[in-house]
Structure 1
């Protein structure tokens, strides 16, 4: 009888978990990551003030979903968003928070934020604007964390207290009824973009110091307002940085701190890694090690299960195009400009110049040809060994010139190199940032092999 009751109890528990997809996910081991972001490009051609999603198996290489198009768009307030944030709630489902802003003209006195509920990030329900305060100030970059001592979620956001920029917090259980706003972090100087990570019984707050433009990480044993002590000495990559994100690696023992550049003209993500989040030992990551989605800005990252990642790819789809990142200039991508193949720094205008459909080789289906996304019917081909973008003319010569065979990367076997179909001793490479095909072999110089090595990414 006892065994039967045990089996019955286990069966009821399993059924309950199945009825609550979030709860089932919460009990599993996280093996992937989801990212929320909005988009901006230098000349506004790729701007999108809506919710975008990407997924990653390793937390570094990101696959934008839905062809890098929105999965949800605000319909109230300013009808646009910035700074989206993903929170896994205690029941395993998700809440999405975002700043109520559209475009690059900032409303300094918006008391509201956008909120969605989601069981699985495949659908978004309960859209609403939530009022956080009645102050004459903004509500920017909302993030949230679970405070077990209170049994509530803390919603942290940037605001002005009449003297300087600080972080405010409202406590809630449902993201509908918000508690009174109170100061969460005021170090005595202006701060922006706070992100709280609860780990190992402590709370870690990443923020930007507006006085010097650097990112910092602070620690609290309780997570209570005004209880943080700054740990780091200040971090920066690039000329300007903001929007820090703290992420604990699913594999354990490692942490990432993400940030992105302030200016849309240089919309680049940067990252650091540490094995000791409580210390002052962050190592900047080379951009060779990660790839963020095109035009992505001010992201939020949350761990998900491998099954959730698969479900999101099934629901929204991976891009039907790729990008080619240079191995030795990882801030540069293969693009066409004035019908010339070259590598240029990201971001670039128009962004679609760097997007390629890798189709079966025109001369040999075992190979590959690179068709332009924004100029369909045009392919990369070599003419006198120089790479051009040209319209396919149906000739055998064009097909051969536009066909390449993918091999293990000459500088790194986990990357890729591309051998010419009709000049099989020559490989696609850059020289002076311009693409051409040159003879290469295992005996070529390290620089030559690196010039001919690319990552096929999104």
Structure 2
């Protein structure tokens, strides 16, 4: 089941009483498209989520609604075709939006954004009924502004993750907190070295899937045919080209495709790798006077050599990657003042130099 906002543009002053709905049994085909009317209010409806209310034997569809103030509304359904009349689900006395709900045992957790101070909070209820939630966490924020909390139980071991969608200082950047105990108030920010936010995504949802569903998705849609290079010591920075210069910049940026590379067998040695730009096909990262540039392959032996690198264990972290130049084997790709170049480096180089030359190759 896919629920989506009926945006009618991005003017939240317009009335929007409907949600979009699609059905899927396998995540590879989506059928039965329809719009369901949630209310008849002069209000906007957005950011839907759904949860199973076992005591009612129905799904609750919870969404943000600005009817005389920003509240979370709920309608109940068994088929996502017919819904009950809307009712206020959560209105704590200040504006709220972007509710995410997870039922864990006998507790229903609701995470939301407090519009009064811009922070994310967690509330809980022993019944999951409307207006039964009590806030139990302190406020959370990374970046300058954040919204759209996503609460996820870890697949491996115990513990929980809370994702937040930041829109300042850059838009569409995700941050994560972690806790071993969802019932406590001990959320710890994760370092972006330990995770990579999804590419070009905003206000998303996270749903667990089976191995069979994952394999079906890959079979239908394929794996990414590109990679990104993430900096070790500036983990929100990615290798990109800008004005034909190789550099690192904090993601998100536009055009986001500037950071996408096809990692192909090395042009000078197939045991190595070369990096072809996705949005400028036929152009590769190569060094020239030790500086990294994006240039079209001119077919010469010099170009092929300049554009070929060998993957090695990361100089600063063996679980990551460093890239050694094919034709200057004592030099490695590194960033310096955010620009890319190749410099002589080794295990005896300073820690900061080795970190500058260490990257994670990631989708």
State TM-score, norm by structure 1.
Answer: 0.78
Q: CA deviation at 1:322?
A: 1.0
Could you say what secondary structure the match of 1:301 adopts? coil
Moved more, 105-114 or 166-175: 105-114
> Is 1:126 matched with 2:57?
no
Could you say what secondary structure the match of 1:298 adopts? coil
CA offset digits 1:160-212 (Å, max 9, x no partner): 342x2111100100100101101100100000100110012210000000000
Aligned position for 2:17: 111
Matches within 5 A, 1:127-206: 127-162=33-68, 164-206=69-111
Checking the alignment, whether the CA contact within 8 Å between 2:8 and 2:16 is kept in structure 1 is no
Q: CA deviation at 1:384?
A: 1.4
User: For 1:121 and 1:292, how far apart are their aligned partners in 2?
Assistant: 22
Moved more, 396-405 or 249-258: 249-258
Could you say what secondary structure the match of 2:150 adopts? strand
Checking the alignment, whether the CA contact within 8 Å between 2:313 and 2:320 is kept in structure 1 is yes
Could you say what secondary structure the match of 1:448 adopts? helix
CA offset digits 1:348-400 (Å, max 9, x no partner): 12111111111110000110001111111111111111111111111111111
User: For 1:177 and 1:103, how far apart are their aligned partners in 2?
Assistant: 26
1:442 equivalent among 341, 347, 362: 347
Matches within 5 A, 1:402-413: 402-413=307-318
CA RMSD after TM alignment: 1.3
Checking the alignment, whether the CA contact within 8 Å between 1:101 and 1:107 is kept in structure 2 is no
Checking the alignment, whether the CA contact within 8 Å between 2:143 and 2:169 is kept in structure 1 is no
Checking the alignment, whether the CA contact within 8 Å between 1:266 and 1:346 is kept in structure 2 is no
For structure 2, list consecutive stretches of 5 or more residues without a partner in the other structure. Answer: none
Aligned position for 1:414: 319
User: For 1:363 and 1:454, how far apart are their aligned partners in 2?
Assistant: 22
CA offset digits 1:54-112 (Å, max 9, x no partner): xxxxxxxxxxxxxxxxxxxxxxxxxxxxxxxxxxxxxxxxx110111155333531000
Q: Which has the higher contact order (CA 8 A, sep 6+)?
A: 1
User: For 1:307 and 1:274, how far apart are their aligned partners in 2?
Assistant: 29
> Is 1:284 matched with 2:189?
yes
> Is 1:423 matched with 2:332?
no
Aligned position for 1:255: 160
User: For 1:148 and 1:237, how far apart are their aligned partners in 2?
Assistant: 34
Aligned residue-pair number: 363
For structure 1, list consecutive stretches of 5 or more residues without a partner in the other structure. Answer: 1-94
